[in-house]
Each structure stands twice: as C-alpha cells, then as structure tokens.
Structure 1
C-alpha cells in the first residue's frame, strides 16, 4: 500500500467523525495528535515521550477509559517535556465526544501498513494528508496550502544555497521551507558533502518561519519534524512587533494570506514605511525590507492581482519595491490552482540591491493565465505546465526567447502606467461572440459540491434531532437546528 492509498484511507475516516460534528480541518488536527504518537513509535523516537503517554497506552485502553486517558494526554503533553512536543500539543483539545469513534481511529491507524509508509517517507505521507485537506473545498484549508508543483518550481528558480538563511513569514504548513530544505539536500548528498557545522546550520537554523493560526502552526511543526527540519517556527503575527526582528535573510519564499484585516485594523508594527489595511501590501513591505541589501538576496512571493494595481498607498509601495529591489520577473498564474475558485494570483521574483533607488530597470512578465486549461480536480496542475516559463526565466538572453506569453516592460513604461503592474496579459481567445462561457463540467461539479455541503448540514440536523428526541427540546436547540436547515436550503432571515 502506497502513501496515496494510506492518505485516502485516513481521509475516509472523516466520515466516522461527521456524526461527532467535526469539521475537516478539526479532523486533520485531531489526526495530528494521534499520528504523532504512532509515528514516534514507528521511527523509534518514543523516548522523547513520557512512558505513560506512548502509543501502546492508547491501544490497551477502551471506551470511556480511553477517552479520559487521551484527554489527559493532550493536556499534559502540551505543558511538559520536549519543546517540540509542547508546541504540537499546546492548548490541544479533543473534539471527539463519542469514545467508540476515538477507538475506531486508533485501531485503524494501528493496523495501517507502516512498513510501506516508512519506505516512502512519513513526511510525504503527512504532507499528502495536508494536501488532501486543502483540496476539500468545505475544509477551508486551501488558504494555508500552496500547490506543491508551484512551490517546487519557485524553489528551483530561486535556488537556495547551503549557508543561506531562508524564511517564510506566513508559513502555513511550512511547505516552502521543506521544499527549500529538500532542494539543498539534493545538491549536497543529504548534507554529507558539508562540514559538521554547516550541516548543523542547515538542520537547525537555515529554514525558519512564522505562522499566526494556532492549529496551522501545529500542523507546520509536525510537518517540519517529520521532514527532519528543525528550524524555528514562531507562533505569531509577522505584521506585529514580532516581524520587526525578522531581518537579514538571504532568501524569502512565501504565500501571504489573502484579504484585509478584520475591522479594517492597521498593523501594529511601527517600522513599516506605509500604513494600509491590505495584508498583502504589508507583507510585501516586510519581505523586501527583511532581505539583506547586498545585491544577492532574493525573494519569491505569491500575491493576488489587487496588489499589482491598487492605487494610493499600493502604488507607493510598488514604487518603493522597485527602488530598493530589482523586480525582474512576474509570473501571472492561472486561475483554479488554489482551492478558492476564481482567485487570481501572481508570483513576484526580486532581488534586494545595495542601493535604495532605481534598482529595477526591466521587468519581464510571463502570462500563464490566458488561454490556459481550466485547472482543478479534473485537470491538476503539474510541474510540466511550468516548463515554458522555466525555459524563459532561465534563458541566457531573455530577449531571444520566442514565446508570445513572455514580454518585457521598462521602468519608464511602468511609470507611465502610474506604477501599475497589472501588465503582460495576452489576447484572450475565449472572448468570442458567444462570450467567455464557463466550463460546463466545472459548473456541474460546483453545483454538486454545494449540494453535498447542503446534505451534510441536513445530516447534522437529523443527527442532532435524533440525539435529543427522548428529551424536551429547548428553544435554543430548536433555533439552532432550524438555522442549519435554512443554511442548507439557502434560506436566510426569519422564514
């Protein structure tokens, strides 16, 4: 059984927990608690765990006794012992209320083909689970997960080197840094070509990150540990004072969260030159300021379209970026590759120069969006889709590249457009007399997804009503059930 088969089987377990009212994202977090203990046993690392909380302590208990032991385990591991363990179990609570469901999960995990999983890599197994979670529209986890082919291409082009300090200020599940670690390992025979001090630096200091969301930080810690990446992953907000101390990096790779701060709040940092409620613009400021100003440091950042054309403060930040950095390439990404449909994104590649004025001379833009397939579950994004872009990016003479998607703009061209970077898109062939019609299969799949979501909500209502049918129903319980019915049917208000 390969890792993909194991991931699918683990994912099917979620159906067991739907009756417990557990969401997909909660399920992955719950699995993380249990999988950590099992993986510590499989890798011979149980010594870092208190003896009373090792894997066998779960398999030898049943029913209420198992549930009580498990909840005490979560509480104690989050407050004592090894720092990595404390980070993974910090403030951990179980959402599993039915003891037999917990027992099913533990029994199922215990019986999996762990020999095959170890052969393929436990880190890859766990990352497959995170990707599965991100691909489920209802999980809401897509915002934390950058597609693996995109990460691999970005890392290949930015090319982190041994001895460089790499950082992701919006780490998510730490995918960029894990890929950067793999990249350097592949060039150094898994670090065996390096000296002892250099290898220690790579394992413990080279790859770091910051993640704001507690449960996502937990997943990042687990992901890093299973890939033997031991750099610091801070739980906090880069746009707070924490970010003021994140400086002097050689490489920054990141996909900051989309959206505006709730309530229109400004970042609490005082060292950012321009103030705005736009998170991505604030992250962009942080990134180019956090690179060493030596002409060699570089960054690649995934940003939505609005960052390219937002006026006012947005234009000032883009001008400041092009003064301090050589913004040499923008990749206009296709839609559908992120798990929030319709999101239009780009990758900005730049190096931090020694000067703070007129660092950008020419900007190359590659349009991978127009006249491209509709990516999604039926047409998954692969590394091969980036081949033409990689060839253009790495060409010795970019001027000699013959590709209609590849165009250059001078800094003067951009100034004439009021520093808008919403440039480089080619003519859209789909804009015919019939209009730009959506793919009928994609439309049908979207309808099916919504129907499935509605059925799941109605199923929760039925389960709740069955659970309380033997006792009087309170006003609040009745109101809650009716609200779910309304949500499932698309009816809102007092109907």
Structure 2
C-alpha cells in the first residue's frame, strides 16, 4: 500500500468518530478540507496566504472548549477579506459541524500525526483526490453526483487529447476530476510544463482550465483539489443555466458530466440564449456545451439515456446538435458506475463544425452495456474495461480515424444520419441480444433496478404534467370563447 492510500484510509477511519457527533459523510469531507487546508499550508510553506494568528500552529496550541471556540472564529476570519482570494473562496460561509471539543482534538491530533513527508513526496493532490474518491464510493454519502469514476474520466481525456495552449472548460465542474485529469495529461506530455515557454506555463496554470460549480460545498472541494494540483484557473460558484454560463469563454475542449434531473424548482433556465428552452437539465446543458465550443472545438459529455430518446424539445435539440456538430461517437456505458443515480448513461463525443448545418453524416455507437457485468463494489470499473472501445475509437480525437463496423454480433456499429432521421432522431439504439434476460444471471444490483424504475416514473410524470398544461390551456381557451359569446345563426 502506498503512503497516500494509507493516509486516505486513516483519514477515512476518523469518520466513525464523527458519526457520534451526528456528522454526515459530505460534512465530514468538508470539515477535513478546512483542517487539511490549514495543515497543508504549513507543510508547503504557504502560510503567508493566511492571516496571522489563524494558522495550524495557532489551532494546535489550544485545547478543549478554547480550541473549539477558536476554530469556529477562525473559519469566519479565514473567509473574510484579510485572507488571499482563493482562501476566502474555500472558507466562504464556512461553519463547523463539530459540536464536541474532544472530537475536534481527535481530528487535529490525527492529522498532525500523519506521514506528511511521504504524502508530499507522492503528491498532496493525489492524497486529496483519494479522499474524494473514497467519499464518492460510499453509497450513503450521496457524493457520487459530484464525482465521475476516475477510469471513465481518464478514458474521455485520452480520447479528446487536450493540448497545451487550449482552453478547457467544465461547466458542471463538481470536485474538478475532468480538469485535473486534463492537466495531468498535458503535464505528462510536456515534462511537467518545462518544455513550454514561461508565458505558456503561466497560461497553463492560470487560464487554461475554467468552469462553474453550482453547489458551494462541492465548490470548496473543487478549489482545494485544483490548488493542490497547481491549477489557478477561474472555477466560479454559479449556475451555468443562468447568465453565468453565457459569460464563459468559448472553449477548445469541453469535458463534463452535468447533473441529472430537472432544474431546481422545476423552472426553465434563466439565460436567454437557448434556442430550445427546457426544464430538463441535461438537455439544457447539452445546448450550452455545443454552443460554447469554438469552431473545430471538441467535447466529451456524460448524459443519461433520456437525452437520446426524449421527444419534443429533446428531438429538436438532438437535430440541432447533429446540424451544428459532428456527433461522431456514442459510448453506451454499463450500469452501476454512478452510485447516486444508477440510471443508464452514455458519453457523447462531438466536434463543432465550421458551418451551422449538416455536420453529422454518421454516428458510431459502441455498446459497453449489454452483456457486461453490473459494476459496483463487487466488480469495480477499471481502465482496462475501456481498452476495446478506445481501440475502436481510434487515434483521432475528432473521430476521423478509419473504423470498422463489427456487425450485429459486435459492439461497434455505424448508423447514417438518414437512418437516425427515420427513427425520429432517436439515438437510443441497441442491437445486441441481452443474454442475461434469458439466463437470469448477473442481474443489476437492486439500487440500479430501483433507480431505473424511478427514472421511468420521472419521465412519465413529466409527460403527464405537459399533457395537463396542454389540456388546461385548451379549457381556458374554450371558456374565453364562451364568455365572449358566439354569434347565433338565424
């Protein structure tokens, strides 16, 4: 076991202590972020960013009720204007969930006793990412919605091939997995940026990576994660489906996993630049993504099945996407890889065209779902599971490599734009016979089955609501006509 994974295990084991204080998993990771930040500032010699009197040593010098009182005051002070800008953002509206002095003392002592020398040797960023991954894999934490599995992220990044000098956006940044993986990919190919000029290095650290995150606690984790990986890009707290999203610069590469469900409160996006307004978050995000790409820009986006088949505005948005972009590849993902939702998902790979019409000639679909194991704790998803898909995808990030249709028995097939149009623009295409339906073996985990039922109910409810609105509108129109009075024929 590496020093990093050993430290992650030790930190995670402390959550059992905190459960006695009524603290949830996400609160625990947020709490650890506050404390780890102070300790890491000391370890990396960056305490100059913190106001004097509010540093790690000041916390460890106190005990009992005095320590807890000081800690509460320090969180408020660190979020004030006396701190550096990024420190302010990490501690904005920070409050501790710890109620008992002995719990805080245990946390502080345990963090102080960790093998910080080895952690720094292996990378503090890796330590923090390991902690986030541990939290996301814990079903009860509900953090899966902020964390995309690392093997999937790395597959998407490798296929998109982000380059130094490119603007790379994540409009639903979560805890920063996509941006950090893209940064790692570029650093591995530029000798940790040393092959770049000084100006190019500054661009990579300060401007190349940017995005938005809606949830403040996730935004804190995002800022901390990026800081520990040496990235200073502008990742703001805001709503991509509001005017915040309109202000984002056009991107060369977009890598993202937008949140599932409808917009909070069921309302429409509040930005005014969408051609097809919809309360479906994924369809709204999809519009943002393909409209935010520069001509020739490329994207890889995780989206649930309903985006592929939903009628009405969904059909119009898919047609618009295939006009404005070359939607060259869809990866049908296996079930069980997202703990929070369990709904069926896909990755859409597309490139923005130089024109506004007719950019998609054909869509290649790889079925990594049918007759695959149901991934979860029993069978963890690994990088190797994507090897065959990556080979089929080819070396060109825009999907232009020579490809082979593997036929009805294979996992990789090509469908022309005309074939898709005849299907009412429905991209939810499968052809392999599902052997598990015949054998009854290898059924999905109960959570995945329940989540799929809930997703189908959600879609049916939305369709019923739309029908109700339509009927109410017709009734109102009839009532208006009656009240005005219709002329009678004599």
Q: Could you say whether these structures have the same fold, taking a TM-score greater than 0.5 normalized by the shorter chain as the test?
A: yes
State the distance in 2 between where 1:204 and 1:72 align: 31
Shift in Å at residue 435 of structure 1? 4.4
Query: Structure 1, residues 160-191: CA drift from partner, whole Å, max 9, x if none?
Result: 11110000000000110011011111111111
Name the CA shift for 1:67/1:269 in 2 (closer, same or farther; >3 Å). Answer: same
Is the contact made by 2:315 and 2:424 (CA closer than 8 Å) also made in structure 1?
yes
Q: 1:282 aligns with which of 284, 304, 308?
A: 284
State the distance in 1 between where 2:405 and 2:267 align: 47
State the distance in 1 between where 2:447 and 2:214 align: 36
Structure 2 unaligned segments of length 5 or more: list them: 396-400, 451-490
Question: Match for residue 334 of structure 2?
Answer: 334
Question: Match for residue 428 of structure 1?
Answer: 434
Is the contact made by 1:131 and 1:145 (CA closer than 8 Å) also made in structure 2?
yes
Q: Secondary structure at the match of 1:292?
A: strand
State the distance in 2 between where 1:247 and 1:415 align: 32
Question: Match for residue 208 of structure 1?
Answer: 210
1:405 to 2:407 alignment = no
Shift in Å at residue 6 of structure 1? 1.0
Which stretch of the first structure deviates more once superposed, 373-382 or 343-352?
A: 373-382
Using the size of structure 1 for normalisation, the TM-score is 0.87
Shift in Å at residue 445 of structure 1? 12
Question: Match for residue 468 of structure 1?
Answer: none
Shift in Å at residue 425 of structure 1? 4.4
Q: CA RMSD in A?
A: 1.8
Shift in Å at residue 51 of structure 1? 2.4
Shift in Å at residue 263 of structure 1? 3.0
Q: Secondary structure at the match of 2:220?
A: helix
- Structural mapping, 1:163-312, within 5 Å: 163-293=165-295, 296-312=296-312
Q: Secondary structure at the match of 1:250?
A: strand
Q: 2:420 aligns with which of 411, 414, 433?
A: 414
Shift in Å at residue 446 of structure 1? 11
Shift in Å at residue 264 of structure 1? 1.8
Shift in Å at residue 438 of structure 1? 2.6
- Structural mapping, 1:123-142, within 5 Å: 123-142=125-144
State the distance in 1 between where 2:177 and 2:387 align: 21
Structure 1 unaligned segments of length 5 or more: list them: 448-495
Q: Secondary structure at the match of 1:237?
A: coil
Which structure 1 residue ranges, 4+ long, deviate > 3 Å from structure 2? 400-403, 434-437, 442-447
Question: Match for residue 392 of structure 2?
Answer: 392
State the distance in 2 between where 1:150 and 1:327 align: 19
Shift in Å at residue 262 of structure 1? 3.3
Query: Structure 1, residues 462-492: CA drift from partner, whole Å, max 9, x if none?
Result: xxxxxxxxxxxxxxxxxxxxxxxxxxxxxxx
Which stretch of the first structure deviates more once superposed, 315-324 or 5-14?
A: 5-14
Q: Secondary structure at the match of 2:359?
A: coil
State the distance in 2 between where 1:199 and 1:424 align: 45
- Structural mapping, 1:12-23, within 5 Å: 12-23=13-24
Give the number of aligned pairs.
442
Q: Secondary structure at the match of 2:363?
A: strand
State the distance in 2 between where 1:446 and 1:356 align: 40
Shift in Å at residue 65 of structure 1? 0.6
Is the contact made by 2:333 and 2:368 (CA closer than 8 Å) also made in structure 1?
yes
Question: Match for residue 114 of structure 2?
Answer: 112
Is the contact made by 1:370 and 1:425 (CA closer than 8 Å) also made in structure 2?
no
Shift in Å at residue 373 of structure 1? 1.5
Name the CA shift for 1:445/1:313 in 2 (closer, same or farther; >3 Å). Answer: closer
Q: Secondary structure at the match of 1:51?
A: coil
Query: Structure 1, residues 231-267: CA drift from partner, whole Å, max 9, x if none?
Result: 0111000000111112321000000000012332111
Name the CA shift for 1:98/1:233 in 2 (closer, same or farther; >3 Å). Answer: same
Question: Match for residue 315 of structure 2?
Answer: 315
Shift in Å at residue 437 of structure 1? 6.3
State the distance in 1 between where 2:206 and 2:184 align: 14
